[in-house]
Structure 1
Amino acid sequence: MPFFFRNKEADPAHMPAPGLPLLALELRAPWEFGAVLPAWAVLQRAPRGDGHTVIVFPGLTAGDTTTVPLRRYLDSRNYNTLGWGQGLNLGPRDGVLEAAKRQVHQAVEASGNKVSLVGWSLGGIYARELAKELPDLVRCVVTLGTPFAGPHTSTNAWRIYQFASGRSIERETENYNLPEAPPVPTTSIYSRTDGVVAWRGSVQAPTDHNPHTENIEVVASHFGMGLNPSAWWAVADRLGQPHGPDVVWQPFRRPMVRGLHLVYPDPQR
């Protein structure tokens, strides 16, 4: 489910794609989903939402079926979740981003409130770019294994993207400034054991443009990140932040629920 555009300021030699050992570890994805059942009681202790709408975008060559488990979990935490409704994600072909914008507008009109955007890999690129274009309609953005901060050669699937979309990554990057964060609270969830995307390509540094930007590391595969209990908790925690003009944004804090502090590596290590 990966996708990547080239960052012209990055040196490809310093951000190679994950090697074969990490790529082989992608086979653990079904076990990550299998951990949801024993973790369910703990997952239900994540912050409860306020009922606002959350749109979830799938990764490359994937569709809404792959995000059903995450969306059902978010439903259980009191969110109104929607898939992207455009079938398989084969890249930003003609009409795709326009349809996504219409969906955001329709969701806001239906609820009267801003929406949050969650994107898995390529889906996270959509979420970030939509938030840049529609900041007055978007409450926050959360991405899962989304590569936005490095060269396209730092993934193991850029050729799949070009084959599936029929587009050149290098040519398309000229239309976007992917490393730039949206002007809304933005969280990047990443894994150093991602076998598809170089983890450094998913790390966003806070800037004066948007100090409400953060990164959360989890122990997960790329294909399992949207099915991983620790990633689910992090998504629910970020979506559950209070929202309003007088509310001060707070960065993620490793939960002190028994055992959970062990699944989020210490960011200061």
Structure 2
Amino acid sequence: MLPRTRRTGEAVLSATGLRSRARARVDVRDLARPDGPPTPWTTLGELASPLDAVRLGAALPRLAAAPRGDGHLVVDIPGWRAPELSGAPLRAYLSRLGYDARGWGFGTNTGDPRRDVERLSARVLELVDERGAPASLVGWSLGGVIAREVARRHPDAVRRVVTYGTPVRGGARHTSVARASRASVDADVDRVARRLDAASPIRVPLTVLFSRRDGVVAWQACIDRATPSAEHVEVSSTHLGMGFDPDVWTVVADRLARPWADTGPAEAPSPAAGS
């Protein structure tokens, strides 16, 4: 066990953003299964979301040390009711690293995933055809659901998928808006998801970021036990703060920089690697 002073020092470095709090979870079999929405106390914790953005300042050196991009196309997809502008800071960072980072092109995500999977698929295929190389997809919350389904349908057009705060099962049943959701619709969506996972699993490298502080989506619902290519990385930000969390940014940058064919075991970037 580390001495108390060292543990305190590392906690301070992590809290300020100088050090990453991201940790790879190689084995998720023992993690709890989802049983409902986040607790009211966890949802209340979303009020602390601005603090995740504050960590960006101290994290600038390790953000700058992230591996350079190779120029490939990265499409960023916003979460439910979030404007396309919500992903602008991450896109600006990825562009600075050397990626062709773009928004999804449809403005605010109004919450119609079936329609959005269709139209984003068409847009990605068009862009990939123009560039002659597959794209990576980065999705926040419901945006990750859309990214997953586009990759499932068009694996040859998608190089890699990174999601954060994204439920893979249960729909709104495991979110803070569960009481206002349509349970029968959620049950149908869940059955469809299970059938798709069994018949047509996602075959591209997939990185799943989740946080136990997520007050919008129950973190247990983000664990993907059905996708062979899925790797899991635990961060420590609120749901609303994930888009501005430097730990999320460094994991995204690290995964996007990996070789296209790399589907091996995943690890969160080490502090020495700029995480």
Aligned to 1:83: 103
Structure 2 CA distance for partners of 1:149 and 1:219, relative to 1, 3 Å: same
Contact 2:173/2:181 (CA < 8 Å) preserved in 1? Answer: no
Contact 1:192/1:219 (CA < 8 Å) preserved in 2? Answer: yes
Residue 47 (structure 1) shift: 1.7
2:256 corresponds to 1:239:
yes
Aligned to 1:58: 78
Contact 1:46/1:233 (CA < 8 Å) preserved in 2? Answer: yes
SS at match of 2:49: helix
Aligned to 2:266: 251
Aligned to 1:101: 121
Structure 2 CA distance for partners of 1:241 and 1:169, relative to 1, 3 Å: same
SS at match of 2:187: helix
Deviations 1:90-145 (A, max 9, x none): 12267432220111112101211100011000000000000000001100110010
Contact 2:81/2:109 (CA < 8 Å) preserved in 1? Answer: yes
- Correspondences of 1:99-248 after superposition (within 5 Å): 99-150=119-170, 152-158=172-178, 168-177=185-194, 180=197, 181-205=201-225, 210=228, 212-244=229-261
Contact 2:224/2:230 (CA < 8 Å) preserved in 1? Answer: yes
Residue 27 (structure 1) shift: 1.1
Deviations 1:185-206 (A, max 9, x none): 001000011111111111123x
Structure 2 CA distance for partners of 1:86 and 1:150, relative to 1, 3 Å: same
Matches of 2:116 and 2:140, distance apart in 1: 16
- Correspondences of 1:41-52 after superposition (within 5 Å): 41-52=61-72
Deviations 1:19-40 (A, max 9, x none): 1211111011112112212211
Deviations 1:153-183 (A, max 9, x none): 2211245666xxxx93334445444883511
TM-score, structure 2 normalization: 0.79
Identical-pair percentage: 36
Aligned to 2:42: 22
Contact 1:125/1:178 (CA < 8 Å) preserved in 2? Answer: no
Instruction: Return the letter of the residue paired with 1:232.
Output: W
Name stretches of at least 5 consecutive residues in structure 1 with no aligned partner. Answer: 1-12, 261-269
Residue 249 (structure 1) shift: 3.2
Residue 14 (structure 1) shift: 5.5
Q: Looking at secondary structure, tell me which structure has more helix per residue.
A: 2
Matches of 2:193 and 2:35, distance apart in 1: 20
Residue 72 (structure 1) shift: 0.6
SS at match of 1:146: coil
Matches of 1:73 and 1:215, distance apart in 2: 22
Instruction: Return the letter of the residue paired with 2:186.
Output: I
Contact 2:169/2:193 (CA < 8 Å) preserved in 1? Answer: no
Aligned to 2:11: none
**Higher deviation after alignment, 147-156 or 171-180:** 171-180
**RMSD of the alignment, in Å?**
2.6
Instruction: Return the letter of the residue paired with 1:255.
Output: S
Contact 2:42/2:215 (CA < 8 Å) preserved in 1? Answer: yes
Matches of 1:120 and 1:99, distance apart in 2: 18
Structure 2 CA distance for partners of 1:248 and 1:88, relative to 1, 3 Å: closer
Instruction: Return the letter of the residue paired with 1:222.
Output: H
SS at match of 2:87: helix
Matches of 2:116 and 2:36, distance apart in 1: 30
**Higher deviation after alignment, 232-241 or 18-27:** 18-27
